[in-house]
Structure 1
Amino acid sequence: MSTNFLRAARSTFRHTAVYNPSHFASTRHFHSTSPKMTVHNILSTEAFKEALKEHKTIMLDCFATWCGPCKAIAPILANHSNEEQFKDIFFAKIDVDDLPELSQELGITAMPTFMIFKDGEMAPAEKLVGANPNALVALLKKHT
């Protein structure tokens, strides 16, 4: 096979619509405003108790860094935290390995565990164990 054939093929590819860089530039969407909410990382038991006092409804994600399902559902939870319909919910997360006392106090037995806290109560109003996106949305909608 001659090198002229390869040069011609490369040249043809560059001029096709697939390669055209201007097509890629037009698909970028930049937002001038930052997200309204986010999932807040709770680093201590005291910080969690303060959050309970300050917010009427809290969605707590109890995760571990080594947990595959936790990693899979984390971006889904982050997307929901930016949705307008869930604006009244404070989204938070704790690493169960970093806060073992709080994890034990909350009764965490598996990861991920999602808990809804209402009106400053230390006992969860509702609990969801496992990475189930549909059940997570149902839980959020129930408590908005």
Structure 2
Amino acid sequence: MAVIKATDSDFASILKSNQHVVVKYFADWCGNCRLFSPKFKRLSEDEHFATVTFVDVNAETSPEARKMAGVTNLPFFAVFKNGNLVDTVAASKEEAVRTLIHKLV
């Protein structure tokens, strides 16, 4: 599944219309964020996570979406179930993100 790019204008509706959502918060200046992008795309294509919606949010241009997860560092990942925040992790290790996603499936 493709990674959805979201902004403040559509973030809440994406959370409402998808039961399981993992969000990667990034900034254009963040080198680790750019390095993690191919890993996030690969995770989105993993059949184990077929029921999970993968979303990218620019933390600098979407302050409301950032507040919903309490973003403290970048890259920052959050999982939402039925629109509610389940857990977060600030990491650039794929295993940490995989563990976070497993809280949904």
The two structures have a TM-score, normalised by structure 2, of 0.92
User: Which residue, out of 80, 105, 126, partners 2:87?
Assistant: 126
Structure with the larger RCO, 1 or 2 (CA within 8 Å, 6+ apart): 2
The reply to whether residue 113 of structure 1 matches residue 76 of structure 2 is yes
Counterpart CA distance in 2 for 1:107 and 1:143 is: 19
When Rg is computed on C-alpha atoms for both structures, the one with the higher figure is: 1
Residues paired across the two proteins, number: 105
SS class of match (1:142): coil
Map 1:1-144 onto structure 2 (within 5 A).
37-43=1-7, 45-121=8-84, 124-144=85-105
- Could you list the runs of 5+ residues in structure 2 that have no partner in the other structure? none
Q: Percent identity?
A: 27
* Alignment gaps of 5+ in structure 1: 1-36
Cα RMSD over matched residues? Answer: 1.3
Greater share of strand residues, 1 or 2?
2
Question: How far apart, CA to CA, are the structure 2 residues paired with 1:108 and 1:81?
Answer: 21
Partner SS for 1:62: strand
Normalised to the residue count of structure 1, the TM-score between the two structures is 0.68
| SS class of match (2:102) | helix
Describe the superposition over 1:76-98 as per-residue Cα deviations: whole angstroms up to 9, x where unpaired.
01001011110100000100111
Q: Which runs of 4+ in 1 moved over 4 A?
A: none
CA drift at 1:142: 3.1
